[in-house]
Chains A and B, each alone.
Chain A
Amino acid sequence: MTIKELWHRLGSPRWFYQMMGPWGTGLGVAAALLLITGTLWGLIIAPPDYQQGNSFRIIYVHVPTALVCQSAYIMMGVAGFLFLVWRMKLADMVVKVTVPFGMVMTALGLFTGSVWGAPTWGTWWEWDARTTSMLVLLFLYFGLYALRQAIPRAESAGRACALLALVGVINIPIIKYSVDWWLTLHQPATFTLTEAPSMPAEMWLPLLVNVIGVYCLMGAVVISSLRTEILRRECNTSWVREELMGEPA
């Protein structure tokens, strides 16, 4: 298969619908197993922190949610780019169905961060560069959701959302480097790709399990909602009719 063929296949909603069903299920099962393991591990087996005590355990829900909402946004930005330039139908659907997932994860990241800040920093909220840029991310997700509702013509809505998704990606490096560029209350990153984690394995292993788990969850949710969206948009095609008749009720 040449690259061009692969490209056309990936852009085909029908191909995606028929190929990705098992992937969605598989990732969903993997996400459930990993998240249950990582969460129980972090809650029960992982040791408390020498300074923070047990409130440290919030890291196991805070870091995965706060990470995945940024990755979801980047994915959406790339899809927006593909839609703007190549008008790939599937890319527009990706931009649409990622919004609820990203919004929920951003809200969870902010909320768990706030709950963690209360006992450790002594405040639920501080307007520093990290917390503020995360709040901007939440509002970008709100904006994308509202924009699609506000524009009645599906094609114009798709283009407007794709552009907002793409331009909003600028916020992601700001979130990431906010703790290095400015003085913030938030501490620097725990995990980086280049350096060893700043905690022992018994503490970061459950975190890694939950991070991988939440990425599987993103895969499962996005694939499942994409397949639904494909059915909805292509409901007048013969292949969807055949597909629906073939599926058990």
Chain B
Amino acid sequence: MSFAEFVHMGGHGLYVWLAYGSTIAVVVALWLSTRASGQRVRKELKMGLKRQSKV
């Protein structure tokens, strides 16, 4: 099987790659945003604590 054939998927390439592409992109984005919001909240809370300790 050549690479071109693999991409073509027997004429169903558009559908297969659309389904896989959207799923992979969305799952990766979901994971990154979950981690990012965790880091953001920790950072904000830590800054709040520092401010409190200075006062």
Contact = CB atoms under 8 A, between A and B. Distances in A.
Interface of A: 28, 35, 39, 43-44, 48, 53-55, 57-58, 61-62, 65, 100-101, 104, 107-108, 111-112, 115-116, 118-119, 217, 220-221, 224-225, 227-228, 231-232, 235, 240-241, 244-245, 247, 249
A83 B45 CA distance: 26
B51 interface: no
Nearest to B13: A54
Interface in B6-33: 6, 9-13, 15-16, 18-20, 22-24, 26-27, 30-31
B27 A58 contact: no
B12 A227 contact: no
Q: Identify which of A119, A224, A228 gathers the most chain B CB atoms within 10 Å of its CB.
A: A228
Question: Chain B at the A interface: mostly helix, strand, loop or mixed?
Answer: helix
Given A217-B27, A225-B34, A244-B49, A118 B42 contact: no
Interface residues of B, number: 28
B54 interface: no
B15 to A, nearest CB: 5
Interface of B: 6, 9-13, 15-16, 18-20, 22-24, 26-27, 30-31, 34-35, 37-38, 41-42, 45-46, 48-49
Contacts of B12: 53-55, 119
A43 B47 CA distance: 46
B38 A227 contact: yes
A228 B31 CA distance: 14
A43 B42 CA distance: 39
A55 B11 CA distance: 9
A221 B6 contact: no
Question: Chain A at the B interface: mostly helix, strand, loop or mixed?
Answer: helix
Nearest to B18: A115
Given A111-B19, A224-B38, 6 more contacts: A43-B16, A57-B9, A107-B26, A108-B26, A115-B18, A220-B31
A231 B23 contact: no
21 contacts: A35-B27, A44-B6, A54-B11, A54-B12, A65-B23, A104-B26, A104-B30, A107-B26, A112-B22, A115-B15, A115-B22, A119-B15, A217-B27, A221-B31, A221-B34, A225-B38, A231-B45, A232-B41, A244-B46, A245-B49, A247-B42
B38 A228 contact: yes
A43 B20 CA distance: 9
A28 B38 CA distance: 14
A101 B36 CA distance: 15
